[in-house]
Amino acid sequence: MPTTHVPYSSMSLTSGLRSTRKNRANLRLGIVAVICAIAFGTVAFHQLEGWSILDSLYVTAQTVTTVGFGDIAPRTVRGRVFATGFMIVGVGIVLYALTSAVQSIVQSELVATFGQRRLSRKMSKLRDHFIICGAGRVGLHLIRSLQGGKDPFVVIESNTQKVAQLMDAGIVVLVRDATLEESLREAGVEHARGLAACLPNDADNVYVVLTARDLNHDMHIVARAAEEQAEAKLIRAGANRVVAPTLIGGHRMAMALTKPAVGDFLDSITANQLDLGFEQLEVEPVSSFVGRKLSETNIRSQLNIVIVSIRRSNGEIVFNPNADATIQAGDMLIAIGNAESLAELTALARGRVSAARVV
């Protein structure tokens, strides 16, 4: 996702995450050093003083913890010389391990508390964004697709391992349970443009959709259905669209088997190998397209864009409109073309370009 969206959140949380990882690495190093020091001291006292392994371990533990009961003490010169040096080194190692432990715990709590609070304050200012609930297999593919665009989005995920991966990629993440109302509110659901419920459990997706629809009646909601019978429940809960990955996968496999050329074409568009994409755009009343026939515009001749269908404001759908089809205010155009041409067409549909560029 471009850094112009919400760079402050992703950068601060990512740097905090990296600092926490460094502290944890230091803690692991300190623990390993203590274990190695105790093992080394045990073997050394056993060899120098002839004590049993248990007695050697006992004295070593006394030394590194600075307890020093004094019930067992080195009697040889070599043993005392070693014990003197080992006291200094062993105490230093233990202090390093304790310091790393305290630092790791304190900084982890600070990052988790202040980082998330800062992120929440910034996200309260977001408008017209998307919310992705869940970063599983389906959610990750959706996130990758959104990263290539300019639309801001927020991910709600509770799995810490997935959160770390997303933060490293610069994704804005809320470490929350997406099924909770407060989590959706914190993600700015009241001002969001759309929401995708990508949780692996259908019941959780139904709950997310139901809660989100209650908080924002105008938001476009897309939900994932693991089981075919969950589709009707998700629609009743308030989802505008339901996607069943297993059914879609079955249809695509059937097409790849029976109509491989069509399947290859669709795969090329999906993978952006042909530099083509689909776009939906609404024709504003101020657009110079209003009242014109398709043949009177530059949509096909100059922009090299194909209008696949026109959805009228009354719900009528004109599939593959001919050159004499008239564009009306409020029409939804479904177009296919390259990204640059689609961006220009969107500007024309919104009336942001002069009429001189239309004909």
Q: For 71-82, what is each residue's pLDDT tens digit?
A: 888 888 888 888
* Claim to verify: residue 230 and residue 293 sit in the same structural domain: no
- 276's CB contacts (< 8 A; 6+ apart) are 268, 269, 336, 337, 338
pLDDT in the model for residue 3: 34
* Claim to verify: residue 194 and residue 301 sit in the same structural domain: no
Give me the mean pLDDT over the 302-329 stretch.
Answer: 90
* Claim to verify: residue 106 and residue 134 sit in the same structural domain: no
* Claim to verify: residue 99 and residue 163 sit in the same structural domain: no
- 220's CB contacts (< 8 A; 6+ apart) are 193, 194, 195, 240, 241
Residue 111 pLDDT grade (very low, low, confident, very high; cuts 50, 70, 90): low
CATH number at residue 26: 1.10.287.70
Which of 87, 102, 123 lies at the terminal end of a domain, its last residue?
123
* Claim to verify: residue 153 and residue 205 sit in the same structural domain: yes
Query: Is residue 266 in some structural domain?
Result: no
Q: How far apart are CA 225 and CA 245, in angstroms?
A: 7
Residue 309 pLDDT grade (very low, low, confident, very high; cuts 50, 70, 90): very high
Say if residue 358's pLDDT is above 80.
no
* Claim to verify: residue 140 and residue 198 sit in the same structural domain: yes
Query: Is residue 146 in some structural domain?
Result: yes
pLDDT in the model for residue 5: 37
Residue 278 pLDDT grade (very low, low, confident, very high; cuts 50, 70, 90): confident
Query: Is residue 231 in some structural domain?
Result: yes
Enclosing domain of residue 351: 275-357
* Claim to verify: residue 119 and residue 13 sit in the same structural domain: yes
Query: Is residue 317 in some structural domain?
Result: yes
Average pLDDT over the chain, rounded to an integer = 83
Q: How far apart are CA 309 and CA 331, in angstroms?
A: 10
Q: What is the pLDDT of residues 317-337, one digit of tens each?
A: 999 899 899 999 999 999 988
Say if residue 6's pLDDT is above 90.
no
Full-prediction pTM beyond 0.75? no
Give me the mean pLDDT over the 58-86 stretch.
Answer: 84
Residue 21 pLDDT grade (very low, low, confident, very high; cuts 50, 70, 90): low
Read off the tokens for 58. 């006992």
Nearest residue to 154 (alpha-carbon basis) of 167, 168, 136, 137: 167
Query: Is residue 283 in some structural domain?
Result: yes
Say if residue 107's pLDDT is above 80.
no
Q: What is the pLDDT of residues 90-100, one digit of tens each?
A: 888 888 888 87
Query: Is residue 260 in some structural domain?
Result: no
Give me the mean pLDDT over the 155-184 stretch.
Answer: 88
pLDDT in the model for residue 11: 42
* Claim to verify: residue 307 and residue 221 sit in the same structural domain: no
pLDDT in the model for residue 8: 35
Per the model's pLDDT, the better-predicted residue between 9 and 67 turns out to be: 67
Query: Is residue 270 in some structural domain?
Result: no
pLDDT in the model for residue 120: 64
pLDDT in the model for residue 96: 82
Q: What is the pLDDT of residues 175-206, one digit of tens each?
A: 889 999 999 998 999 999 999 999 999 999 99
Backbone phi and psi for residue 317, each to the nearest 5 degrees, phi listed first: -115, 125
pLDDT in the model for residue 7: 36
* Claim to verify: residue 199 and residue 232 sit in the same structural domain: yes
Which of 73, 105, 123 lies at the terminal end of a domain, its last residue?
123
* Claim to verify: residue 143 and residue 85 sit in the same structural domain: no
CATH number at residue 198: 3.40.50.720
* Claim to verify: residue 134 and residue 237 sit in the same structural domain: yes
pLDDT in the model for residue 1: 36
DSSP, residue by residue, 214-253: HH-TT-EEEEE-SSTTHHHHHHHHT-SEEE-HHHHHHHHH
* Claim to verify: residue 135 and residue 118 sit in the same structural domain: no
Query: Is residue 254 in some structural domain?
Result: no
pLDDT in the model for residue 343: 87
Say if residue 160's pLDDT is above 70.
yes
Which of 75, 92, 123 lies at the terminal end of a domain, its last residue?
123
Number of domains in the chain: 3
Q: Give rounded-to-5 percent helix, strand, coil for the chain.
A: 55, 15, 35
Give me the mean pLDDT over the 338-345 stretch.
Answer: 87
